[in-house]
Structure 1
Amino acid sequence: MLFELDVIDAVCQDLVERGYMIINRKKEIKHSGKDVIAKKTNSNNDIRLFIEAIGETSSDSSSKRYGKPFDRSQIKVHISELLFATAETLSMPKLDEYIYKTAIAIPDNRDHRELINKIKPFLDTIDIAVFFVKGSKVSEIISSWEV
């Protein structure tokens, strides 16, 4: 079972391997703000990447769901919450010198994949990438732009 922090760890490791620098990342269960903020400087531009993440089970050991997989309806709610948080990021004031990109990071399992496949054309339209995480690694990135 992947906890949210496991997903974040895998994504941060993958981003560093791709040449990103992690500016900020969630390190504890109770945390406000974006789960991951990373940057990458190319020859022409400076990219800021904002990522929202979820796990396969509750990270709160006092929760009834702790250690139990989320069901399909819970996963749908979580993906909706990730998309809302991403919409907030896309709506924030931006500095002209940066290119802003957004992504969500989720466990790589059947339910998450099926739900993402249903909305993939929408995600492509608004340039939201999806990091699928299996074990301790990013297994696939679906994106309309080069991560």
Structure 2
Amino acid sequence: METYERLITENEVIRLVILKLECLNFELISKCNTSQTGIDIVLKKGNYRLLIEAKGATSSKKGTPKYGQPFTKSQALVHTSVAIYTAMDLITRHQGEDNYIVGIALPLEKNSIEHVEKVKHVLSKLGIVIFWVNNEKVIIEAPNQEIDLILNYSS
């Protein structure tokens, strides 16, 4: 997978995923920025709700030591792990409900890609959609054909 090293914050990831999904006829229900708590992105399309946890490649908080600096490999692991855990928690909280899809949105950068590659098979089994984001594009990896058809995208 081609990567881009320009750092992208969580707030930028959220904004770009929303733009991509609105182009795919999703309607934004709610979003949170890094100073808010809750599901980062909630959208709907027809009868389906899409719940997404997002992470960035650098801090979104100006004035912090990590603002504008890339996360280390271990920091990227923590952020990726939190996104995956949150996605699994959303699946657990919504079990028994129909018509929802859970996703994670991550920066398209080498550390995040390496961490996800190690568990991608499990993410697929859980039905978790992966949104890879940089400043130029959003790549969507659907875990199965059914979800692929619901998202109705072309990368």
Given the two structures, how large is their TM-score scaled by the length of structure 1? Answer: 0.89
The secondary structure found in structure 1 opposite 2:21 is helix
1:1-147 maps to which residues of 2 (within 5 A)? 1-26=7-32, 28-41=33-46, 46-93=47-94, 96=97, 98-138=98-138, 140-144=139-143, 145-146=147-148, 147=151
Q: Which amino acid aligns with 1:25?
A: K
| Aligned-pair Cα RMSD in Å | 1.5
Contact 1:57 1:66 (8 Å CA) reproduced: yes
Deviation of 1:29 after TM superposition, in Å, equals 2.6
Can you give the 5+ residue segments of structure 2 that lack an aligned partner in the other structure?
Answer: 1-6
The secondary structure found in structure 2 opposite 1:56 is coil
Q: Give me the identity figure in percent.
A: 30
Contact 1:108 1:133 (8 Å CA) reproduced: yes
Q: How many residues align?
A: 140
Deviation of 1:110 after TM superposition, in Å, equals 1.4
Give structure 1 regions of 4+ aligned residues with deviation exceeding 3 angstroms.
Answer: 93-96
Paired with 2:30 and 2:104, the residues of 1 have a C-alpha distance of 15
Paired with 1:79 and 1:61, the residues of 2 have a C-alpha distance of 21
Determine which structure has the larger helix proportion and give its number: 2
Q: Which amino acid aligns with 2:12?
A: D
Can you give the 5+ residue segments of structure 1 that lack an aligned partner in the other structure?
Answer: none
Determine which structure has the larger strand proportion and give its number: 1
Query: Deviations along 1:30-81, whole A, 9 cap, x unmatched?
Result: 101000000010xxxx111100001110111132111100011001111111
Given the two structures, how large is their TM-score scaled by the length of structure 2? Answer: 0.85
Deviation of 1:93 after TM superposition, in Å, equals 4.3
The secondary structure found in structure 2 opposite 1:112 is helix
Query: Deviations along 1:2-53, whole A, 9 cap, x unmatched?
Result: 1111000110011111111010012x33101000000010xxxx11110000
The secondary structure found in structure 1 opposite 2:104 is strand
